[in-house]
Amino acid sequence: MTKLLSLGELLIDMLPQDSQNSAYLPIPGGAPANVAVGYAKLGGKAAFCGGMGDDYFAKQLTNALEQYNVDTEYLFTIEGAQTAMVIVSLDESGERSFNFYRHQTADLLLTNEHLKRINWDKLSTLHFCSNTLTNTAIAKTTVCALKQAKNNQKIVSFDVNLRYSLWQNSNDIEQNVHACYAYCDIVKLSRDELNFLATQRQQSADAYLQSLLELGVKLVFLTDGPAPATVYHNAFTLSEAAPTITAVDTTSAGDAFIAGVLYYLNHSDNAVPLTDKLNDELIVKKALHFGLRCGSKACLAKGAFPALPTQQTLSK
């Protein structure tokens, strides 16, 4: 079984329609949803788990996931709740800034009762991000999902993907993030995130990376914009330069990267068990290469779901 379950927020990205950010278009998004769609567009089987409002955007969000063949069995409508929204602004180089509208929205109201519906036997991998760690209730639900995944011997992937403005107290960030590492097999960090978290823990960046491996994380992927990306394992370290491109929109680059990594690990060398692949240097090297190709392709078009690459677009 190679099916991915992506847990977290499904929301509306208000994307600018011109370089002056003067008009916006509502587009389905949310980092975990992007990963589910990215995985499915590459040809994998993916499902999404999260809370959805019962407002105007609900049908648009459901239809968008189903359009890309993402299973919505675990997408739960939260009565009386609204869908979260984020206004995305782009600068001249295509880099993003975010303004979130997310107070008691549906994505924060997923509970342990919802998780009881998950059929873990049909899944290989659970993926999540830190936006479901930003308040106590949804953080408890997230940790419950991680425990269930590990109890069912599934691979757990964590793209830290910090959105600092979502945290009421920035001093809580590292502690909440760190509490999840013990359940994770794969962790993805950006260079900025690594520096921030290491500083909060009063460690050097290198010491912080090593501490993740000592906690049991098998692979730590570190991305650094256009600079080379690196993957750390207890037995090896690999780096590769990102393809040189002219970015149009970097909104889904990181999500496309991790979707590509997870797709490659799940679908390559089928004779090798997934857990063994995480310790195979050659397979991990190829997964890093594939993820970088996916991330770079996603920067060549605007939006999230539409920009995520397919096998066909990767071959061009």
Cα–Cα dist 119/49, whole Å: 12
Q: With beta carbons less than 8 A apart as the criterion, state whether 145 and 154 touch.
A: no
Least confident span in 58-72, 77-91, 120-134, 288-302:
77-91
Q: Supply the pLDDT for residue 181.
A: 98
Cα–Cα dist 90/241, whole Å: 24
Look at 299 and 174; give whichever has higher pLDDT. Answer: 174
Q: Would you place residue 111 in the very low, low, confident or very high pLDDT band (cuts 50, 70, 90)?
A: very high
Q: Supply the pLDDT for residue 95.
A: 67
Least confident span in 77-86, 190-199, 228-237:
77-86
Cα–Cα dist 260/174, whole Å: 26
Residue 77 has pLDDT above 80, yes or no: yes
Cα–Cα dist 23/21, whole Å: 6
Look at 176 and 15; give whichever has higher pLDDT. Answer: 176
List, in order, residues 6 or more apart from 4 with CB less than 8 Å away: 35, 36, 39, 44, 45, 46, 47, 123, 124, 125, 126, 127, 262, 266
Please provide the average confidence, as pLDDT, over all residues in the chain. Answer: 93
Q: What is the mean pLDDT of residues 6-24?
A: 83
Residue 261 has pLDDT above 80, yes or no: yes
Residue 89 has pLDDT above 80, yes or no: no
Q: Would you place residue 242 in the very low, low, confident or very high pLDDT band (cuts 50, 70, 90)?
A: confident
Residue 17 has pLDDT above 80, yes or no: no
Cα–Cα dist 313/24, whole Å: 27
Residue 99 has pLDDT above 90, yes or no: no
Residue 6 has pLDDT above 90, yes or no: yes
Residue 73 has pLDDT above 80, yes or no: yes
Q: With beta carbons less than 8 A apart as the criterion, state whether 11 and 149 touch.
A: no
Q: What is the mean pLDDT of residues 107-125?
A: 97
Q: Would you place residue 64 in the very low, low, confident or very high pLDDT band (cuts 50, 70, 90)?
A: very high
Percent of the chain beyond pLDDT 90?
76
Q: Would you place residue 134 in the very low, low, confident or very high pLDDT band (cuts 50, 70, 90)?
A: very high
Q: Supply the pLDDT for residue 96.
A: 67
Q: Supply the pLDDT for residue 120.
A: 98
Q: What is the mean pLDDT of residues 73-100?
A: 82
Q: Supply the pLDDT for residue 50.
A: 96
Look at 23 and 277; give whichever has higher pLDDT. Answer: 277
Cα–Cα dist 313/188, whole Å: 24
| Cα 239 to Cα 88, 129, 284, 286, distances in angstroms | 30, 23, 11, 11
Q: Supply the pLDDT for residue 190.
A: 96
Both tokens assigned to 238: 């690999």
Q: What is the mean pLDDT of residues 198-217?
A: 97
List, in order, residues 6 or more apart from 158 with CB less than 8 Å away: 127, 128, 129, 130, 180, 181, 184, 186, 187, 188
Q: With beta carbons less than 8 A apart as the criterion, state whether 105 and 137 touch.
A: no
- Helix (H) / strand (E) element for 36: namely helix 31-41
Least confident span in 1-15, 239-253, 276-290:
239-253
